[in-house]
């Protein structure tokens, strides 16, 4: 059997928020959010063992992506927050490290995506009846010696949306060979991080704002001071 990937810290170290309704984790890159065809250890399984409680997925992150992910502890909490995702009242920001700086420092991207072979998404013409409209906003935050940091806000939530859309404008995410980056990261992760998540608590109604610390990797550490100075 191939060696299982090693993730930093323990599940308790990944907890960002918890109460009797919800629990949020900072998912390590490379770990599936939920069970997949490969049967790899996944965050839902690990988190349920940690909490000794059944958990209910609300949203997902791609396996190679890191960052904040939220589970319900009760089906009612899962359903209520899922409705917020569908109503687009959830605020979610991502950070993406790219090799090529976009021509525009800020822009709104609109493409049409459809599922393709190999668990990919592809951009097609708007006339394709199988395609779904994908929209995001991005903003350039700064550069290191070799790479550039973008803040991305999703307007829609399509499969591989950020990856495909940034690839389409010539700014693929570092490590994301599927969407045009020249080489993969050794651990098959990509440098896309779900940075913040804000939602209304299903019981109190108060706004909850979560922020996931950056991965402890040199390429991310090069941008940590930049983010600290902007906060």
130-174 per-position pLDDT tens digit = 999 999 999 999 999 899 999 999 999 899 999 999 999 999 999
Rounded to two decimals, what is the model's pTM?
0.93
Q: Is residue 104 a contact partner of residue 95, using CB atoms and an 8 Å limit? A: no
10-30 per-position pLDDT tens digit = 899 999 999 999 999 999 999
In this prediction, residue 3 has a pLDDT band, given cuts at 50, 70 and 90, of very low
Share of the chain above pLDDT 70, in %: 97
Buried/exposed 143-163: b ≥16 CB within 10 Å, e otherwise = eeeebbbbbbbbeebbbbbbb
Q: Is residue 111 a contact partner of residue 165, using CB atoms and an 8 Å limit? A: yes
| Every domain of the chain and the residues it spans | 11-230
Question: What fold, for 11-230?
Answer: Pseudouridine synthase (3.30.2350)
Q: Is residue 48 a contact partner of residue 54, using CB atoms and an 8 Å limit? A: yes
- φ and ψ at residue 183, rounded to 5 degrees: -150, 150
Please give the distance of CA 158 from its chain centroid, rounded to a whole number.
Answer: 12
163-172 per-position pLDDT tens digit = 999 999 999 9
Helix (H) or strand (E) holding 164: helix 161-168
170-223 per-position pLDDT tens digit = 999 999 999 999 999 999 999 999 999 999 999 999 999 999 999 999 999 999
Give mean pLDDT, residues 105-114.
96
62 is catalytic: yes
Residue 32 exposed, middle or buried by CB count within 10 Å (0-12, 13-18, 19+): buried
Give the pLDDT of residue 180: 94
d(CA 60, CA 68): 10
Beta-carbon count within 10 A of 208 CB: 17
Q: Tokens 């668990």 label which residue?
A: 119
Give the pLDDT of residue 224: 87
Give mean pLDDT, residues 101-129.
92
**Annotated catalytic residue within 3, 62, 107, 176:** 62
């Amino acid at each position: 059997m191939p060696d299982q990937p090693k993730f930093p810290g323990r599940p308790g170290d990944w907890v960002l928020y918890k109460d009797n309704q919800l629990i949020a984790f900072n998912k390590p890159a490379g770990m599936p959010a939920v069970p997949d065809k490969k049967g790899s250890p996944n965050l839902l399984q690990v988190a349920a063992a940690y909490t000794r409680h059944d958990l209910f997925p609300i949203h997902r992150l791609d396996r190679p992506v890191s960052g904040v992910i939220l589970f319900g502890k009760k089906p009612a909490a899962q359903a209520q927050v899922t409705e917020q995702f569908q109503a687009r009242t959830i605020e979610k920001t991502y950070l993406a490290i790219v090799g090529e700086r976009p021509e525009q420092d800020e822009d709104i991207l609109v493409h049409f995506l459809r599922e393709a072979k190999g668990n990919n998404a592809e951009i097609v013409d708007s006339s394709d009846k199988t395609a779904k409209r994908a929209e995001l906003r991005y903003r350039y935050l700064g550069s290191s010696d070799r790479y550039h940091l973008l803040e991305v806000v999703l307007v829609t939530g399509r499969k591989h949306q950020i990856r495909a859309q940034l690839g389409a404008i010539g700014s693929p995410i570092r490590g994301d060979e599927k969407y045009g980056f020249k080489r993969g990261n050794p651990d098959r992760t990509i440098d896309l991080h779900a940075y913040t998540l804000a939602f209304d608590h299903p019981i109190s109604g108060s706004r909850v704002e979560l922020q996931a610390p950056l991965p402890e990797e040199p390429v991310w550490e090069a941008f940590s001071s930049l983010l600290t100075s902007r906060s």
